[in-house]
Amino acid sequence: TLGVEGMPLIRFKTGDICKAHYEPCSCGRNTLRISPILGRKQHMIKFKGTSLYPPALYDILNTVPYIRNYIVEVYTNDIGTDEIVIHIGAIDPPENFDKELKDHFRAKLRVAPNIVVESPEAINKRQFPEMSRKPITFIDKRKWERFF
């Protein structure tokens, strides 16, 4: 479970998140230590009072014909709540594309994230970094220190 302390077990494939401690331990140990598991990368997002999971966002984005690719970015704003920005690579979107997409999100999820329309090539470069074997569609920039 995520709350068990003892021998650390980090599962990179599931996206476990922990904090690294570099300062010397009170017992004298000088090696790198890690905190207990704080959560998982793809876990719930609390956005404007609504609990969301990334797959719910993906389901909506995958149904829109103009969208070629996308990246969902989550970060902590100045007041400590989650914010969502969706970077969309779209091909020939209509003029009111972002408004229609926000309305679609509101209808399905009751909230509308911020949307940034970019070229599909720019999104593709961010989705496939040099050392990545699979596409990155979710970037979690939340401040995990708030859990301590």
pTM of the full structure:
0.70
pLDDT at 12: 63
Quick: pLDDT tens for 70-98. 999 999 888 888 899 999 999 888 889 98
pLDDT at 10: 62
- Helices and strands (H and E) in the chain: how many: 3, 10
pLDDT at 2: 57
Q: What is the residue whose two structure tokens read 């970015």?
A: 73
Q: Give the CA count within 13 Å in the CB-facing half-sphere of 13.
A: 0
Is residue 42 very low, low, confident or very high in pLDDT (cuts 50, 70, 90)? low
Sign of CA dihedral 110, 74, 55, 2: negative
* Distance separating alpha carbons of residues 109 and 89, to the nearest angstrom: 21
